[in-house]
Chain A
């Protein structure tokens, strides 16, 4: 145990007492942080799950539409149709600080404002199914970006919660008890020293009085 290694001095006692105060304060703060993080995380993760299910369904539907579209025309035509996209998506990433965790906030802009620029092909050689498929995919895109934001936040917060939980536990079960043990050890040792000094002084006093007055000889005579 670390308790046996502390030197029983008054200075060490003051140091340990100060350490205990800091540790207790830190423990309380970290515990609050953990609770608040957990509350926000649970809200966020529920939203994440809902959104993910929605997005997965959306993408699956879009994929089905693409398969249908592909069936209606040749592979080469399809590849050629989607070869040179007109539209481009730019992502602006900002960050937000939630309980000392940086979480991303996404915002996106498209190169052109025209919604119809997702159709990067002439309509003469492609089937109408392709238009529907591309449209269905573009409808999912805002949700996909939102999902990216929320899911990343969840991952980052989960990591932070784990870290905080470990810290709280370490303080609660290791640092604080060890410090208390140290303080107890030192104060007992100091008390013991004081008592032994007291006893020694009394003994010395007795001996000096004996020397001066010779009580025991008088008693015997």
Chain B
């Protein structure tokens, strides 16, 4: 039985608390603390970690580390500050990794 966590700035994620997801608010500058939290959550029974794209920008290393493991799944979501396109870029990256070049979404605008 796993739990679900949401990480990001408070304004972007406080709504998820009412749904029953565990929220872990971070300011953009608390990257070290956030990285520690990612590791703690990963080994602490959290199956999915939703992370705002803004926060994810500073945690590339941690995200890459867990990408090849079955648990946890780290998924990027847009925050209140808007969509940075990083989530979609992540999908394109996996296409590139598999195929060699982005043949599917290369022509898309976003």
Contacts and interface: CB of A to CB of B under 8 A. Distances in A.
Size class of the contact patch on chain B: 35 or more
A155 interface: yes
B19 A118 contact: yes
Interface residues of A, number: 61
A145 B98 contact: no
B94 A45 contact: yes
Contacts of B100: 165
Interface of B: 1-4, 11-12, 14-21, 47-48, 50, 67-68, 70-71, 73, 75, 77-80, 82-83, 87-88, 90-91, 94-95, 97-100, 104-105
28 contacts: A46-B104, A48-B91, A49-B88, A49-B105, A52-B87, A56-B83, A59-B78, A60-B82, A63-B78, A82-B15, A82-B18, A88-B20, A89-B19, A91-B1, A102-B70, A111-B20, A118-B19, A134-B15, A138-B18, A148-B48, A148-B75, A149-B73, A151-B75, A156-B70, A159-B68, A161-B98, A162-B98, A165-B100
Given A91-B1, A120-B18, 4 more contacts: A60-B83, A87-B19, A93-B2, A134-B15
